[in-house]
A and B are shown apart, each in its own frame.
Chain A
Amino acid sequence: GAVVSQHPSWVICKSGTSVKIECRSLDFQATTMFWYRQFPKQSLMLMATSNEGSKATYEQGVEKDKFLINHASLTLSTLTVTSAHPEDSSFYICSAKRDDSYNEQFFGPGTRLTVL
């Protein structure tokens, strides 16, 4: 099957610190990965599209300088929340699109970020 991992699964940090979240496709290559944010009892909101070897494409309203995305290889994308604040507390989920498949995105297990 197609497995996507995220690390860490949860993190608690102080306000003002930066947090890095990793998204890995374990058994397939993914030129394109997506980062979503989900607040309690709400649906997934796409934050950005991450493309290996090029700059990420951010959705309207998402600050690219605050949410840094690096897609350095075909199996790894990272999201860094810089100078985190309590309002950044959320469930962050990545998904990866298989390079050899057109239809499906495979989701990671998510990372719960709590900023104190």
Chain B
Amino acid sequence: GQNIDQPTEMTATEGAIVQINCTYQTSGFNGLFWYQQHAGEAPTFLSYNVLDGLEEKGRFSSFLSRSKGYSYLLLKELQMKDSASYLCAVRLLNNAGNMLTFGGGTRLMVKP
């Protein structure tokens, strides 16, 4: 089966840096996505990695190591509005060619 693990909750301070880890054991890996989801809302796309390395986009960066089955999302200069759930999702190859399997999500609380 597919297995995607993330910490359930994390707490960080406004202005700080936080790293959210994601490990996966899947078959047919074809890319890893990070989504942000505020309570009661749909997920919004943050980043996509398919090759090893770091992808930087403003305050958010995402890293992938395919050999280790490991990714992290790095959030810098935390703001209160960053309090949300962060979902790691792995794309698998299937008939639709784009099926995502989600991890359990990490609830991040940013405190003043």
**Known A107-B42, A107-B44; contact A43-B103, beta-carbon cutoff 8 A:** yes
Which of chain A's residues have a CB closer than 8 A to the CB of B101? 46
What is the number of contacts between chain A and chain B, taking CB atoms within 8 Å? 55
- Nearest B-chain residue to A49, judged by Cβ: B96
Contact B105 A43, beta carbon cutoff 8 Å: yes
| B98 contacts partner chain A, Cβ-Cβ < 8 Å | yes
**Closest approach, in angstroms, between the C-beta of A12 and any C-beta of chain B?**
16
B96 lies within 8 A of A32 (CB): yes
CA–CA, A40 and B90, complex, Å: 22
Q: With contacts A107-B43, A109-B41 known, is A44 near B102, CB below 8 A?
A: yes
Q: How many residues of B sit at the interface, in one of the four size bands?
A: 20 to 34
Q: Is B78 engaged at the interface, CB distance under 8 Å to the other chain?
A: no
Interface residue count on the A side (C-beta < 8 Å)? 24
Other-chain residue from A44, A45, A51 in contact with B43 (beta carbon distance below 8 A):
A44
- Not counting A32-B96, A42-B105, A93-B42, a sample of 8 additional A-B residue pairs whose C-beta atoms are within 8 angstroms of each other reads A34-B100, A41-B107, A43-B104, A46-B99, A49-B96, A49-B99, A51-B96, A109-B42
Provide a sorted-by-A list of 14 A–B residue pairs whose CB atoms are within 8 angstroms. Answer: A41-B107, A43-B87, A43-B103, A46-B100, A46-B102, A49-B94, A93-B42, A102-B98, A103-B31, A103-B48, A105-B45, A107-B43, A109-B41, A110-B40
